[in-house]
Amino acid sequence: MTAAAPDRTAAADCRAGSPVRPIRERGQHEVFCGLTSILWLHRKMQDAFFLVVGSRTCAHLMQSAAGVMIFAEPRFATAIMEERDLAGMADMHDELDAVVARLVARRPGIRLLVLVGSCPSEVIKLDLAKAAHRLDRAYGPALRVLHYSGSGIETTFTQGEDNFLAALVHDLPAAPIGEAPSLLVAGALADVVEDQFRRIFEALGIGRVAFLPPRSAAERAAVGPHTRFLLAQPYLGETAKALESRGARHLPAPFPLGEEGTTAWLRAAAEAFGVDPGRFEAIVAPGRARARAAVAKRRETLGDKRIFFFPDSQAEPAMARFLHRELGAEIVEIGTPFLHRRHLEAEFALLPDTVTVSEGQDVDRQLDRCRAAKPDLVVCGLGLANPLEREGFATKWSIELAFTPIQGFDQAGDLAELFARPFERRARLKLEA
């Protein structure tokens, strides 16, 4: 999907004093629509339902991205806007109310209904905030109703999750005055990864830990001045802003990718909660050893390889740090849709000052730079991968990195394998030829 790049001038304050001076591009760019984050969010929250308010195009996008799903009825759908709706010939609120009534009758187990705007309110002729508030009063408290924008005009691929989590934060209860410090981990994680982190936090003695989004809508962590939060994903700028507006304090750290990133991420929490350094090292040592051993198996394949990142998910700087520091790869360029300097400061501190960084995208210019650099591997979206493969470049679909569990010690080897696969595939094809 081709869309106009978001203008985020409010981020200028975050850029001040940063050691990285990116190429800022505001041309044509290639990204998925923000609606696609629903595909992993609906799996995470077992009693939530995501209702997209959009056109048939949105419905086709969701169906194509999600696959047929023969064996399970997904917890998302599209309330399709017809021409008569957009022309004002029908009352959009009445139409939406009827769709929601049928949905609730059919799926009585839903505890959180999320209205997702496919376009700005000016386009769909419906104020989703007012609609969500009205429906929340009608169906609450058994069913809570929230809304957020997943518009492909306003957001990039992963920012749909950011907007959803920010909406959840505003709905969380306030922590009582004087409550003991607690830890909140923000960012959707696979259940297996969440369980691994929870066990480590418990071993460290950090007992009051919650995850956002939770697995159930009933799990609503209280937030207040004694809340400390870690970001599990690099693209949660609005979520972090919402948490900080509630008094919570961010714990800056590299993101939990690879042995180095996971160790630093966990250490940030350990230091904030006064965990003895010796105890911390003893608890994380087995995981660090497993991660190093798993990653070492791919170092021969990826060592000294030149890698070029096109902007897609906003996780590109953290991926680049992992590839450079733990696998010995050379990073040619890090392209990212949006650069939140404060959240990525720890990542860039671990990268060479000479690395080229581009924020936003002008796809034609970036393709020119990629072709001139002749990298060994190009990390990009599906729309660019096939043409580049035809030109002889090895590519890795960046979308795969969003759907695969890659955080934590025990997934470090899997993350390295994802980048090694294109080279291994080409090696097999040469042998077969």
Considering the domain architecture, whether residues 318 and 367 belong to the same structural domain is answered as yes
Considering the domain architecture, whether residues 245 and 354 belong to the same structural domain is answered as no
**Residues in binding site for [4Fe-4S] cluster:** 33, 58, 119
Predicted confidence (pLDDT) at residue 241 exceeds the cutoff of 80: yes
Considering the domain architecture, whether residues 139 and 197 belong to the same structural domain is answered as no
Domain end marker among 139, 155, 171 = 155
Considering the domain architecture, whether residues 250 and 138 belong to the same structural domain is answered as no
Considering the domain architecture, whether residues 306 and 420 belong to the same structural domain is answered as yes
Number of domains, the chain: 3
pLDDT of res. 68 = 47
Considering the domain architecture, whether residues 116 and 50 belong to the same structural domain is answered as yes
Domain that holds residue 105: 34-155
H-run or E-run covering 332: strand 330-336
pLDDT tens for each residue of 359-396: 988 889 999 999 999 999 999 988 899 999 999 999 99
More confident residue, 244 or 63: 244
Does residue 232 belong to any structural domain of this protein?
A: yes
Considering the domain architecture, whether residues 197 and 302 belong to the same structural domain is answered as no
pLDDT of res. 365 = 93
Considering the domain architecture, whether residues 348 and 384 belong to the same structural domain is answered as yes
More confident residue, 122 or 185: 185
Between CA 130 and CA 126 the distance in angstroms is 9
Strand stretches in 71-128, DSSP E: 76-80, 112-117
Considering the domain architecture, whether residues 150 and 222 belong to the same structural domain is answered as no
Does residue 202 belong to any structural domain of this protein?
A: yes
Domain end marker among 257, 280, 303 = 280
Does residue 19 belong to any structural domain of this protein?
A: no
Does residue 170 belong to any structural domain of this protein?
A: no
396 residue type, one letter: K
Predicted confidence (pLDDT) at residue 89 exceeds the cutoff of 80: no
Determine whether 133 is exposed, middle or buried from the number of CB atoms within 10 Å of its CB (0-12, 13-18, 19+): middle
Does residue 22 belong to any structural domain of this protein?
A: no
284 near 276, Cβ under 8 Å? Answer: no
Between CA 347 and CA 342 the distance in angstroms is 10
Beta bridge partners of 125: none
Does residue 6 belong to any structural domain of this protein?
A: no
Strand stretches in 192-241, DSSP E: 209-212, 227-231
Considering the domain architecture, whether residues 99 and 143 belong to the same structural domain is answered as yes
Residue 71 belongs to domain with CATH number = 3.40.50.1980
Determine whether 392 is exposed, middle or buried from the number of CB atoms within 10 Å of its CB (0-12, 13-18, 19+): exposed
More confident residue, 429 or 226: 226
Does residue 7 belong to any structural domain of this protein?
A: no
pLDDT of res. 15 = 36
Between CA 135 and CA 142 the distance in angstroms is 12
Considering the domain architecture, whether residues 238 and 312 belong to the same structural domain is answered as no
Residue 151: pLDDT band (50, 70, 90) is confident
Does residue 245 belong to any structural domain of this protein?
A: yes
Domain end marker among 280, 307, 337 = 280
Considering the domain architecture, whether residues 126 and 190 belong to the same structural domain is answered as no
What angle do helix axes 412-432 and 258-272 make, rounded to 10 degrees? 170
Helix, strand, coil percentages (3-state) for the chain, rounded to 5, are 50, 20, 35
* Averaged pLDDT of the chain: 86
Full-model pTM: 0.88
**Residues in binding site:** 33, 58, 119
